[in-house]
Amino acid sequence: MGGKYSKLDPMEVEVPDIKKLLDRDPYLHPYEREIRRRYACFKDLSESIEENGNGIDEFTKAYNYYGVNVQPDNSIVCREWAPGAQQLFLAGDFIPDIPMVGIEFGTNSMYLFFSSDNWNRDSHPYNKKEYGKWELVLPPNSDGSPAIKHLSEIKIVVQTYENTKEDRLSPYATYVVEPPKSEGTIYKQKLWNPPKSERYTFKNQKPTRPKSLRIYECHVGIATSELKVGTYDNFTDNVLPRIIKQGYNCIQLMAVMEHAYYASFGYQVTSFYAASSRYGNPEQLKRLVDRAHELGLVVLLDLVHSHASKNVMDGLNRFDGTDSGYFHAGPRGEHSLWDSRLFNYSEFEVLRFLLSNIRWYMEEYQFDGFRFDGVTSMLYHSRGIGQGFGGSYDDYFDMRVDTEGVVYLMLANHIVHTLYENAITIAEDVSGMPGTCRPVSEGCLGFDYRLAMAIPDKWIEILKHVPDENWDVANIVHTLTNRRWMEPSVAYAESHDQALVGDKTIAFWLMDKEMYTHMSTLSDQSSVIDRGIALHKLIRFLTHGLGGEAYLNFMGNEFGHPEWLDFPREGNGSSYHYARRQWNLVDDDMLKYKFLNNWDAAMNHAEARYGWLGSDPGYVSLKHDGDKVVVFERAGVLFVFNFHPVKSFADYRVGVEVDGEYRIILSTDDKEFGGFDRIDKSVKFSTHPEGYCGRRNYVQVYIPSRTAIALAKV
- Give the Å distances, CA to CA, from 26 to 22, 441, 445, 595: 5, 18, 18, 47
- Give the Å distances, CA to CA, from 691 to 69, 272, 322, 664, 699: 71, 59, 71, 22, 11
Q: Are strands 369-372 and 424-427 parallel, antiparallel or unpaired?
A: parallel
Instruction: Indicate if the pLDDT at residue 264 is higher than 50.
Output: yes
Residue 183, pLDDT score: 83
Tell me the average pLDDT across 488-515.
92
436-468 tens-digit pLDDT: 999 999 999 999 999 999 999 999 999 999 999
Residue 106, pLDDT score: 43
Q: Is 446 inside a domain boundary?
A: no
586-619 tens-digit pLDDT: 999 999 999 999 999 999 999 999 999 999 999 9
Listed residue (709, 507, 673, 499) closest to 594, CA to CA: 673
Q: Is 536 inside a domain boundary?
A: no
For residue 89, the domain's CATH number is 2.60.40.10
Q: Which helix (H) or strand (E) holds 89?
A: strand 87-92
Q: What percent of the chain has pLDDT over 90?
A: 91
Residue 243, pLDDT score: 98
Residue 394, pLDDT score: 95
Tell me the average pLDDT across 140-167.
96
Instruction: Indicate if the pLDDT at residue 339 is higher than 80.
Output: yes
Tell me the average pLDDT across 670-680.
97
Instruction: Indicate if the pLDDT at residue 104 is higher than 70.
Output: no
Q: Is 545 inside a domain boundary?
A: no
Q: How many domains does the chain have?
A: 2
Q: Which residues pair with 247 in a beta bridge?
A: none
Catalytic residue among 93, 217, 428, 566: 428
Residue 414, pLDDT score: 98
Instruction: Indicate if the pLDDT at residue 113 is higher than 50.
Output: no
Instruction: Indicate if the pLDDT at residue 673 is higher than 60.
Output: yes
Edge-to-edge strand ranges of the sheet holding 127-128: 67-70, 76-81, 133-138, 127-128
pTM, full prediction: 0.95
230 with 224: CB under 8 angstroms? yes
Find the range with the poorest average confidence among 96-100, 217-221, 432-436, 582-586. Answer: 96-100
628 with 680: CB under 8 angstroms? no
Q: Is 465 inside a domain boundary?
A: no
Strands (E) across 305-395 are located at: 334-335, 340-341, 369-372
CB atoms within 10 A of CB 609: 12
CB atoms within 10 A of CB 97: 14
Under DSSP, the state recorded for 704 is -
pLDDT band at 564 (very low <50, low <70, confident <90, very high): confident
Q: What is the DSSP string of 594-634?
A: HHHHHHHHHHHHHHHHH-STTSSPPEEEEEETTTTEEEEEE
Instruction: Indicate if the pLDDT at residue 383 is higher than 50.
Output: yes
CA dihedral 618, 509, 670, 581 (to 10 degrees): 100
As a whole number of angstroms, the distance between CA 437 and CA 434 comes to 8
Per the model's pLDDT, the better-predicted residue between 361 and 571 turns out to be 361
Tell me the average pLDDT across 352-372.
98
302 with 254: CB under 8 angstroms? yes
- 428 in catalytic set: yes
Helices (H), 215-262: 232-234, 240-245
Q: Which residues pair with 380 in a beta bridge?
A: 401
Find the range with the poorest average confidence among 103-107, 329-333, 394-398. Answer: 103-107
Q: Is 104 inside a domain boundary?
A: yes
Q: Is the dihedral of CA 522, 527, 530, 536 positive or negative?
A: negative
Q: Which helix (H) or strand (E) holds 665?
A: strand 661-667
**640 burial type by CB count under 10 A (0-12 exposed, 13-18 middle, 19+ buried):** buried
pLDDT band at 117 (very low <50, low <70, confident <90, very high): low
Q: Are strands 550-554 and 213-219 parallel, antiparallel or unpaired?
A: parallel
Estimate the share of the chain in helix, then strand, then coil, as percent rounded to the nearest 5: 30, 25, 45
Residue 99, pLDDT score: 53
For residue 625, the domain's CATH number is 2.60.40.1180
Instruction: Indicate if the pLDDT at residue 107 is higher than 50.
Output: no
Tell me the average pLDDT across 195-209.
97
Catalytic residue among 347, 349, 373, 669: 373
Residue 96, pLDDT score: 73
As a whole number of angstroms, the distance between CA 590 and CA 692 comes to 45
Q: Is 654 inside a domain boundary?
A: yes
CB atoms within 10 A of CB 105: 5
Range of the domain at 177: 64-198
Helices (H), 448-592: 454-465, 473-481, 496-499, 506-511, 527-546, 583-587
* Contact residues for 207 (Cβ-Cβ < 8 A; gap 6+): 249, 293, 296, 297, 298, 368
CA end-to-end distance (rounded Å), the chain: 59
Instruction: Tell me which of 198, 214, 230 is where a domain ends.
Output: 198
Instruction: Tell me which of 180, 198, 216 is where a domain ends.
Output: 198
Q: What is the mean pLDDT of the chain?
A: 95
Tell me the average pLDDT across 370-398.
94
- Give the Å distances, CA to CA, from 598 to 239, 274, 278, 675: 16, 37, 32, 12
505 with 498: CB under 8 angstroms? yes
537-557 tens-digit pLDDT: 999 999 999 999 999 999 999
Instruction: Indicate if the pLDDT at residue 59 is higher than 80.
Output: yes
Q: What is the CA radius of gyration of the chain?
A: 28
Q: Are strands 250-254 and 213-219 parallel, antiparallel or unpaired?
A: parallel
Instruction: Indicate if the pLDDT at residue 72 is higher than 90.
Output: yes
638-657 tens-digit pLDDT: 999 999 999 999 999 999 99
Tell me the average pLDDT across 171-198.
94
CA dihedral 650, 652, 657, 661 (to 10 degrees): 10
237-253 tens-digit pLDDT: 999 999 999 999 999 99
Q: Is 640 inside a domain boundary?
A: yes
- Give the Å distances, CA to CA, from 336 to 225, 316, 340, 549, 583: 36, 18, 7, 34, 38
Q: What percent of the chain has pLDDT over 70?
A: 97
- 373 in catalytic set: yes
Q: Is 694 inside a domain boundary?
A: yes
Instruction: Indicate if the pLDDT at residue 101 is higher than 50.
Output: no
Q: Which residues pair with 301 in a beta bridge?
A: 253, 370
SS (H, E, C) 543-558: HHHHCCCEEEEECCHH
177 with 186: CB under 8 angstroms? no
Instruction: Tell me which of 153, 168, 198 is where a domain ends.
Output: 198
Residue 502, pLDDT score: 76
190 with 231: CB under 8 angstroms? no
